[in-house]
């Protein structure tokens, strides 16, 4: 099954594109998910397929309560990538964080984020990273 991303793509991009790809919001028969699309370049040092397989193996190994759950991998419809001279075909399907990233949660939930919310979110993040470390992995993209 090929994943269909929501149009317009720019409105469903969940943050700025990274070095290997971008994350979009997509709709499935069961609801909304996040789709990380990997962009291949004509002569990559490491192919998008290899990056996807490495990340998929890691996500399966670190499943835990405070770690976003991976729903598998798939092919994606033709997506015009945000980077020139690349093309998209592979993707990871992830549970969509309902409230978005921490920045959006902190600044879109009112004039100030509540102290109890800061405590809860901080504890969840530390527990998630601690769990990833306990499985022998290091999170190298904490923002």
Residue 51 token pair: 């990056």
Q: Tell me what pLDDT residue 15 has.
A: 79
Q: What is the pLDDT of residues 56-109, one digit of tens each?
A: 899 999 998 888 899 988 877 666 655 555 566 778 889 998 777 776 766 666
Residue 13: which residues within 8 A CB-CB, separation 6 or more? 22, 23, 24, 82
Computed over every residue of the chain, the mean pLDDT equals 79
- Quote the CA–CA distance of 79 and 9 in Å, as a whole number: 8
Between these two residues, 105 and 12, which has the higher pLDDT value?
A: 12
Residue 135 has pLDDT above 90, yes or no: yes
Residue 113 has pLDDT above 80, yes or no: no
Pick from 123, 64, 117, 138: nearest CA to 95: 64
Pick from 21, 20, 25: nearest CA to 10: 25
Weakest-pLDDT range from 16-20, 76-80, 126-130:
76-80
Weakest-pLDDT range from 13-17, 75-79, 131-135:
75-79
Q: Tell me what pLDDT residue 13 has.
A: 85
């Amino acid at each position: 099954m090929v994943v269909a991303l929501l149009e317009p793509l720019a409105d469903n991009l969940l943050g700025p594109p990274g070095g290997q790809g971008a994350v979009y919001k997509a709709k499935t028969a069961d609801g909304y998910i996040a789709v990380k699309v990997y962009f291949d370049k004509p002569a990559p040092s490491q192919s998008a397929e290899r990056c996807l397989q490495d990340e998929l193996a890691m996500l399966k190994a670190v499943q835990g309560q405070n770690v976003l759950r991976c729903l598998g991998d798939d092919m994606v419809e033709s997506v015009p990538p945000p980077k020139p001279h690349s093309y998209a075909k592979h993707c990871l399907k992830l549970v969509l964080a309902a409230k978005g990233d921490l920045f959006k949660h902190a600044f879109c939930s009112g004039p100030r984020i509540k102290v109890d919310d800061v405590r809860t979110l901080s504890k969840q993040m530390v527990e998630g990273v601690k769990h990833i470390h306990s499985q022998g992995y290091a999170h190298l993209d904490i923002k």
